[in-house]
Structures are given as C-alpha cells and as structure tokens.
Amino acid sequence: MGFQKILKKMKAKEKEMRILILGLDNAGKTTVLKHLNNEDTTTISPTLGFNIKTILYGDYKLNMWDVGGQKSLRSYWKNYFESTDGIVWVVDSVDARRLDDCCRELHFLIEEERLVGASVLILANKADLPGAASLEQIRERLELDRITTHHWKIVRVSAMTGENVVPAISWLVNDISQRIFTF
Amino acid sequence: MIHIPDTILKRKDQREGELQKKHDNQPSQAEVFRETFREKEAEIEVLLASIEKTTDKLDLADMFDRISKSINQLNKYLASSSIFLIAYDIKISKSAIQSLQDRSVELENKYLPRKRFTFKNRRDMKPARDKNTEIDRHVEVEKIVTNPNAFSVSDKTDVTLFIDHEDIKNKDVTLSRLVNCVVFIHGSPNTLHLITLESCRIVSGPVVTSVLVEDSRNGSFAFPCQQLRVHNTKSTDFHIHVTTRAIIEDTSGVRFGPYRYSYDNLDAHYEGSGLDRERNNWDDVDDFNWLVNNKQSPNWTKMPPNDQDSFLEELKPYLKKNKST
C-alpha cells in the first residue's frame, strides 16, 4: 500500500515542469502568466519580487515562475536557475530602443551553466500594437541564430489579447516532455 | 525449532547494547544541523573575505559563482532540515543566509558591476546617433521613419513645444536629450518615454499604458497613466495619476503628488484612454532599491500641496503665450 503511494507520487512528480518566465522590465511577463491563468490583465503593477503559479496543461503540471525584470532584480534571477526545464523569454516588440539590452541579457542566460538543457521559448510580445517590430527584426537584433546549445523557438504573441500564447506554451511543453519524459 | 548457538545470541545482545550506547551519545539531529550549518557558513565567510584580495575578473566571476552555489546549497540544507528544527533555529539560519546573500550581492556590485556595463554600451551608442541629428537645430519635430507609430522629439535646448492630440493619438511618444525645455502634450499617447531630460517641464494628457522615465535631472513631470517606471533619475517632481503603481529604481530625491493639471479636452481623452479616474495610487510608490517592509524609502517623498500649486502657476505664462500666438 505504502509503496504504491510512493510510486504514484513519483509518477506525479515526473510530470512536473519548472518553467522560468524572464525578460526586461515592461516586457509583459506577468501579463503572460495572468493570461494563462485566466486572470485580469489590466491591473498589473511592475513586479516587485516574483509570482509563482501552478498551471495544469494536459497531463502536465507547470510550475511557472515569473521573476521581476527591473535591473535591480536581474541579479537575483540566478537564484531561480536550479533544475529549470524551460525558459520563457518575453520581449517587448515595441521597445526597439532596448533590444540590445534584451539581447545581452538573453545571451547571458544562454551561457549559464545551470540552464544547460532548458528549452527556450522567445515570445515577441505586444504584437497587437501597430509599432511592433517584425519577427525577423527581433530574431536579428537578439542574435537568435547564435543559440546552438538550446532548443529554441520565437513566436509573435499578444499577452493582452491572448493571441498565440497557448500554442506557444504548448510548443515549450512538448519540447520539454520529449526531452525528459521518454516512456 | 531451529537451535541458535549461545555465542550468536550473546553477540547479538552485545551488538544491540553497543548500538544503544552509540545512540545515547549521539548528538540530536538539530545539533548536527547547527554544527554543519556553522561550518558551511564559515566556509562562505572565508570565500567572501577572499574576494577582496582577488583582482582578476575571471577569478572573481568564478568565486561569485561558487559563493552563490554554496549559499544555494545551504538554503537547500535548511529547507530539508526544517522538519526537525524548531522555529527559532529556522529563523536564525534564514537570517544568516540572507545576510550572506546580501553581502555577496553587495560585493558583486562593488567588484563586478554588471550594471556599469549597460551604461557604457548605451553611452557608446549615443554619439553615433547624435551625428545624424547634430545638424538639425530646428524646433521642428522629427519622426522616426522605421516605426510609423513612433513620435519623437530629441536634442533640443531652451524650447517650448505644444503637441496636439492628432499628432500623437495612440502613438509611442519619446522625448529625449532635451535641456531646459517645456513640453505640453494636450492629447493621449499610447506610451510615453522621457529619456535623458535635464531641467525640463513635461505635461501630458492620459497615457493609455505605461510611462518610462530614465536618466533625468531637475525636472517636473505631470501625466495620468496606467504604470510608471522611473530609472536612474534625480531631483525630479512627479504630478501623477497612476491606476496601478509607480516604481523607482536607482533614483533619489524624487517627489510625488497627484495630477491636477487640466486642459480643454482632458475629459474626452480620459474617456478614450480607459483609465479609471477613481483610482489614483500616486502615493503608493515601490522603490526597487529599498526592499525593507514597512519602512519608508529615503529616495522619495510626498510633495506638499503648495509646491503642487506653484508648479501649475509656473506653467501659466507658457500657456498664455501659446494662446496669444
């Protein structure tokens, strides 16, 4: 009886994924998380600290960590790196001025040894706004083709309207599951 | 019935006795924890102390990495031991870890300042852009061609600008590198970026989403918005209506007051912006460099009402001039 319980627990644990949502301030990380959780997205303040939500997606339990992106909080990001399965990197497509900052911070993560093996989903957010940069422009400015050590994908989304968010996350979940749950 | 030889039974008793003895002499789990914790803590202390003597950047990065790993390990050890520890032990250990972490961050900022890097990069970029705009001394407004939704004004000194709703409706407005300028935006932009402004007065109608203020000094700004982020700014007054919350970072000497400016179409623009006029959190400011609960940050204060009045008074001469021309 007890043994069966343990087995069950282990199985449940196996289907858990730890996903970090990171990006510069004002990228829309909290909005992405709130949208996935069907919460109101109009009253979000800049995140002081972090938010964590557990979301059920199919058979999987996603532990999503949304860590504040202000400059002073970025030095704390590394405290969340341990045993991360996937990274959602959120980009403000309208903020062309800071795409270089964004590029540098992203490649800093890519080189992080504790994140080796994590799948990387890049969300070109705010795609609903008329000033949004194109997918090609962002791909170039973020030098995504330099990433050879991780599985990655870039998707145009709008966390505000919810467009494309769920399909993008499902790519991430599938990619992670193929890597770690090979039954 | 199986016969067990006496010698074996004797040996069994002896063995159990020894085990019992050992058990009695053994320190409790909590004691072991305290001992190990202290050891680990001392190890990290040694690492932190040796930082001061290291000069090589690569070595430093490596050391900080080791420190952060050790702190993490210690955290994990505490977490897994929390089952048998009393609350007091947990509290003490937690604060010990926190202080180690704080010191590590402090040292890292001092010896391996990553932030400085950002700064340099941006500074390097600027002159390149300046070259293109240097010749342009007109008081006219430049529009960035690549983004039809951007509206920007930059590199001006001693000018007064009036910008209408039609010019900036739903657009991303950027005002940058202005010195001693006064700007009236009687309209409702989508976003507003105020970058590197020196001694400027900026007034705007309702900003639909967020306002970003960076690298500014000695200014007075007034606007309603959903979110306000202030980075790297000194001695500046904010007259704001903010429906979520304002935050400041690497900023000091700033004051906040409620938005009291008004112009002809303000009501209509409020309506169009979707901002809730009933909800104004102008005095609820988060300082990202002051993460102490229940203690007012030294970096910002509330503005006394008579200073709010005098700001409105200061604007009047400019508005009169605009009407007469």
Does the CB of B150 have a partner CB in chain A at under 8 Å?
Answer: yes
Domain assignment present for A10: no
Does the CB of A131 have a partner CB in chain B at under 8 Å?
Answer: yes
How many angstroms away from the CA of A130 is the closest CA of chain B? 6
What pTM did the predictor assign?
A: 0.67
Domain assignment present for A9: no
Are the C-beta atoms of B187 and B173 separated by less than 8 Å?
no
Return the residue of B nearest to A73 by Cα.
B288
| Confidence category of residue B25, pLDDT binned at 50, 70, 90 | low
Beta partners for A144? none
Number of structural domains found in chain A: 1
pLDDT in tens, B99-157: 888 888 888 888 877 544 444 444 444 444 443 433 333 333 443 345 678 899 999 99
Q: How many CB pairs under 8 A join A and B?
A: 73
Q: How far is CA A115 from CA A107, A169, A176, B161, B244, in A?
A: 12, 18, 13, 49, 33
**ipTM metric:** 0.82
| Confidence category of residue A12, pLDDT binned at 50, 70, 90 | low
Interface of B with A in 16-45 (CB under 8 A): none
Are the C-beta atoms of B85 and B30 separated by less than 8 Å?
yes
CB burial of A112-138 (b: ≥16 within 10 Å; e: otherwise) equals bebbeebbbbbbbbbbebebbbeeeeb
Contact assignment for B247 to A43 by CB distance below 8 Å: no
Interface of B with A in 198-217 (CB under 8 A): 210, 212
Burial class for B95, CB neighbours closer than 10 Å (0-12, 13-18, 19+) = exposed
Beta partners for A65? A20, A52
Domain assignment present for A1: no
DSSP B145: S
DSSP secondary structure of chain A: -HHHHHHHHHHHHHTEEEEEEE-STTS-HHHHHHHHTT---SSPPPPSSEEEEEEEETTEEEEEEEE--SHHHHTTGGGG-TT--EEEEEEETT-GGGHHHHHHHHHHHHT-GGGTT-EEEEEEE-TTSTTPPPHHHHHHHTTGGG--SS-EEEEE-BTTTTBTHHHHHHHHHHHHHHHH---
Which residues of B fall within a CB distance of 8 Å from A131?
147-150, 171-172, 190
Quick one: angle between helices B29-51 and B87-111, nearest 10? 10
Q: Please report, for the domain that includes residue A150, its CATH number.
A: 3.40.50.300
Domain assignment present for A8: no
Which residues of A fall within a CB distance of 8 Å from B250?
71-72
Which residues of A fall within a CB distance of 8 Å from B245?
45-46
| Confidence category of residue A6, pLDDT binned at 50, 70, 90 | low
Domain residue limits at A77: 16-181
pLDDT at B294: 76
Domains of chain B: 29-111 (1.20.58.1250), 121-324 (2.160.20.70)
How many angstroms away from the CA of A47 is the closest CA of chain B? 9
Per the annotation, binding residues of A are 23-30, 47, 69, 125-128
Domain assignment present for A145: yes
Domain assignment present for A106: yes
Domain assignment present for A175: yes
Domain assignment present for A100: yes
